[in-house]
Amino acid sequence: MENKHFRILTINPGSTSTKIGVFDNDKCVFKTTIDHSLNELAPFKEISDQKEFRLNVVTKILKENNIQLETIDAFSGRGGGLVNCPGGTYIINEKLYEHANMCFTIKHPATLGATISYEFGKKYNKPSFVVNPPDVDEYNLVARLTGIPEIYRESRIHALNQKEVANRYTNKIGVKYSDLNLIVCHLGGGISIAAHNHGRMIDSNDIVNGDGPMTPTRSGFVPAKPLIKLCFSGKYTEKELNGLINKTGGLLAWLNTNDAREVVKEIKNGNKRAKAVYDAMIYQIAKQIGAMYVALKCNCSAILLTGGLSNDEYLVTHLKKYIGKLSKVVVMNGEFELEALSQGAIRVLSGVEKAVEYTGEPVFKNL
């Protein structure tokens, strides 16, 4: 590995931005976030329709910064829209491209990471990859079943950052990711808290379907019968209720802001409502960590806190009061998604890891 040099272009599209990075092995030589106005995106009816637009913008930015696409050894994109699949680095084959392009399982701009990477790879005759896409599903069977046979729990996790943080921690202490049990908490606009059992994420909350703690913009778990009653009340449309689950719930619904810094400021100014709501979110995060501790049969080497909210001293301090006796708590501020995309591709190119072939067949259907 020390004698090999690989240059990787990483692509992580969001709703109104595209994050890109260029890495020479583990060194980031260029990183930027390209913002897209609503007016720019308005003409595109489907997410897949944005592909050429975003591809051209990425090409333009790289050219302006004197980065030649011909020098790139591999292209690595975020991905999504796939059937549930094991973790790993996937070569983008035609089936993966097809599923990402049509948002086969879920509609999200992250799917463009796969299709743009594929187009770059095809043009420059270089490999293209997706690393631990949001569709990674490594659940144990007991974690899937519910009391309603028609409904299964699904794995929707910040898989890319979850596994990168776990790998970074284990590398730092000199062991393999597959050697330990860990709980990783991605704390951001969305919150995923997963039990990592010797390299597999065997359980977590579902960040798409309203499971787990409330977040700055998501409702988290709510009791089923009152929700059913609300569905038939005529007060909300289906779209509005889906919004409360994924976009306009949580802190935003309670406090008219999704910025935790503003909430903490209000708490310091004596706002009792802000304190009650924020403390409730922290309490719910702690309960989810406790659930994952049980999923690991109370055998956990460390609890890792990452994501934007891990920078909040108030949250971390109060969270530790709940979970400090379960295991060692390690704060790993921020997120490492572009770095994870790069490292996944490099592991395959250097022969450390074998690329996974996407088959389009889900790892789990039903009983």
Which backbone phi and psi does 294 adopt, to 5 degrees? -65, -40
Cα angle for residues 322, 298, 281 (degrees, 5° grid):
30
For residue 195, the one-letter residue type is A
Which backbone phi and psi does 141 adopt, to 5 degrees? -60, -40
Count of CB atoms situated within 10 Å of the CB of 315: 21
Are 196 and 182 in contact by the 8 Å Cβ rule? The answer is: yes
Q: CA 313 from chain center: how many Å?
A: 23
Ranges assigned E (strand) in the chain? 7-13, 17-24, 27-35, 74-77, 89-91, 128-131, 181-187, 191-197, 200-204, 302-306, 328-331, 356-357
| Domain 161-331 -> CATH class | alpha beta
- The residues near 318 (Cβ < 8 Å, ≥ 6 apart) are 279, 282
Structure tokens at 326: 């379960």
User: Burial of 74 by CB count in 10 Å (0-12 exposed, 13-18 middle, 19+ buried)?
Assistant: buried
Q: CA 324 from chain center: how many Å?
A: 25
Question: What DSSP state is assigned to residue 190?
Answer: S
Q: How far does the chain reach from its first CA to its final CA, in angstroms?
A: 44
In the sheet that holds 302-306, the strands lie side by side as 200-204, 191-197, 181-187, 302-306, 328-331
For residue 172, the one-letter residue type is K
Local confidence pLDDT in tens for the 367 residues of the chain: 456 899 999 999 998 999 999 999 999 999 999 999 989 999 999 999 999 999 999 999 999 999 999 999 999 999 999 999 999 999 999 999 999 999 999 888 999 999 999 999 999 999 999 999 999 999 999 999 999 999 999 999 999 999 999 999 999 999 999 999 999 999 999 999 999 999 999 999 999 899 999 999 999 999 999 999 999 999 999 999 999 999 999 999 999 999 999 999 999 999 999 999 999 999 999 999 999 999 999 999 999 999 999 999 999 999 999 999 999 999 999 789 999 999 999 999 999 999 999 999 999 988 8
Q: How many CA atoms lie within 13 A of 184 on its CB side?
A: 33
pTM of the model: 0.92
User: Burial of 282 by CB count in 10 Å (0-12 exposed, 13-18 middle, 19+ buried)?
Assistant: buried
> What's the CATH code, domain 7-136+338-357?
3.30.420.40
Are 201 and 162 in contact by the 8 Å Cβ rule? The answer is: yes
Are 170 and 287 in contact by the 8 Å Cβ rule? The answer is: no
Residues of the chain with CATH 3.30.420.40: 7-136+338-357, 161-331
Q: How far apart are CA 339 and CA 334, in angstroms?
A: 12
